[in-house]
Each structure stands twice: as structure tokens, then as C-alpha cells.
């Protein structure tokens, strides 16, 4: 793994089984001075909550984006094997259309109608004015960005998660876990 830091710009390469995943340059750390309001009871996700997580996975989504909604199921499947904080950052033009989407999905669940979309409102936040989307330079939907606790981008995937992309996603997360374990071991040894 190669880390190259140049002033406030970070370029992070992960070499994974013959392919390279790289992050884009970012002038500010994600969530710096930014709070994403939750679709649940006023909770927010901000830089303090990011720092409390070893790995955070952000997926940008909109209620009209079919691939975004399908990815949610795959993200939760991966999360059952590899722990991380999931942030589903909604970038709809207005919050009310996403609110309607959640009401409709909940009605389907209550009526026991088939839905392929898991209940993810607990992990859904509203990216007010698309500030986080701009900070992370997400150009398309869906975009999935894997961040460490410092907000450094560890990898990125775009569009629908295919079988191949799910393997890439798992590889990014595995590499991130290894790096965190080494950092924790180094910190533990330094304190002794």
C-alpha cells in the first residue's frame, strides 16, 4: 500500500489482486464542518461520528435510482460479514420525495408485500445541498465511497454492484481492516 500526502491533498492507492482502486483528490476531509441530518428523529452524521468508526461506507442515492436501491441489499449482505458504518446519503432535490419513498416502502412491509429493498431508513441521511457529494466528487449515482476514520478515501465503486464489484468491495474492506489492525497494533506497542 502506498500513501502519498501532499499538503492537504491525499492520494491513496490500494493494490488489490492486479487492479488498482484510487481515490480522487479532495481538498477538504469529508464531513468537515458538515452534518447530515437523518431521516430518523433528528440524528446527524458528522466528522465526530466518522472518527468514531474504523470504516465508513457512504453510498449516494436517490429514490428514482433503481441501481442505488438494489445496491442497498448487497451492501447490507457484505456488512453482515465485515463491520462498517453505513451512510446512505440521499441527494434528491428535496427531502420530501425521499420521505414519501420511505413511507411507501414501510407500507409494503406492513402489508407483507414483496419488496427487494431492505429497510434502510436507520442508515439514511439527507445530503443537504449535495455538499458531501461535492466534497467526495461523486459524479454519478450510485457511487459508493469507503472512508477510514480520518476521512481518507480507501476506495470507490460506481453504478450497480455486480458480482465482480462486490468482490472488489469486499477486497477494499478487507484491506481497510488490515490497515486498521496494523495501526492499532502499532499504537498499542508504542504505548508500552
Q: Count structural domains, the chain.
A: 1
153 Rama sector, left if φ>0, alpha if ψ -120 to 50, beta otherwise: beta
The grid cell for 190 is 508504542
Q: Tell whether 43 is covered by a domain.
A: yes
Q: Tell whether 10 is covered by a domain.
A: no
Q: Tell whether 48 is covered by a domain.
A: yes
Q: Tell whether 192 is covered by a domain.
A: no
Q: pLDDT tens string for the chain (192 positions)?
A: 333 333 232 223 333 333 334 444 344 577 777 888 988 777 888 888 888 888 999 999 998 899 998 999 999 999 988 889 999 999 987 788 888 888 888 888 888 777 777 888 889 999 978 999 999 999 999 999 999 888 889 999 999 999 999 999 999 999 988 887 787 787 778 776
Q: Tell whether 18 is covered by a domain.
A: no
Q: Please give the C-alpha separations between residue 80 and each of 16, 144, 150, 187, in angstroms, as whole numbers.
A: 22, 17, 23, 28
pLDDT for position 93: 72
**CATH value at residue 152:** 3.40.30.10
Residue 10: phi, psi to the nearest 5? -125, 130
Helices 66-79/163-191 angle, 10° precision? 50
Q: Tell whether 92 is covered by a domain.
A: yes
Closest CA to 126 of 51, 49, 48, 63: 63
Write out the residue range of the structural domain in which residue 170 sits.
28-179
Closest CA to 104 of 90, 95, 115: 115
pLDDT for position 158: 95
Q: Tell whether 23 is covered by a domain.
A: no
Q: Tell whether 22 is covered by a domain.
A: no
Amino acid at each position: 500500500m502506498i500513501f502519498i500526502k501532499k499538503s492537504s491533498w491525499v492520494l491513496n492507492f490500494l493494490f488489490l489482486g492486479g487492479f488498482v482502486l484510487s481515490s480522487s483528490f479532495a481538498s477538504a476531509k469529508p464531513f468537515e464542518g458538515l452534518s447530515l441530518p437523518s431521516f430518523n428523529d433528528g440524528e446527524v452524521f458528522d466528522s465526530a461520528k466518522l472518527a468514531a468508526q474504523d470504516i465508513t461506507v457512504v453510498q449516494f442515492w436517490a429514490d428514482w435510482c433503481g441501481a442505488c436501491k438494489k445496491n442497498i441489499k448487497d451492501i447490507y449482505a457484505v456488512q453482515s460479514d465485515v463491520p462498517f458504518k453505513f451512510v446512505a446519503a440521499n441527494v434528491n432535490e428535496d427531502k420530501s420525495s425521499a420521505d414519501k419513498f420511505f413511507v411507501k416502502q414501510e407500507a409494503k412491509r406492513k402489508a407483507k408485500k414483496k419488496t427487494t429493498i431492505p429497510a434502510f431508513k436507520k442508515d439514511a441521511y439527507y445530503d443537504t445541498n449535495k455538499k458531501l457529494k461535492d466534497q467526495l466528487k461523486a459524479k454519478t449515482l450510485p457511487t459508493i465511497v469507503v472512508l477510514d476514520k480520518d476521512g481518507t478515501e480507501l476506495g470507490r465503486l460506481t453504478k450497480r454492484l455486480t458480482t465482480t464489484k462486490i468482490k472488489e468491495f469486499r477486497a477494499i474492506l478487507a484491506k481497510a481492516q488490515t490497515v486498521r489492525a496494523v495501526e492499532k497494533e502499532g499504537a498499542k506497542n508504542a504505548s508500552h
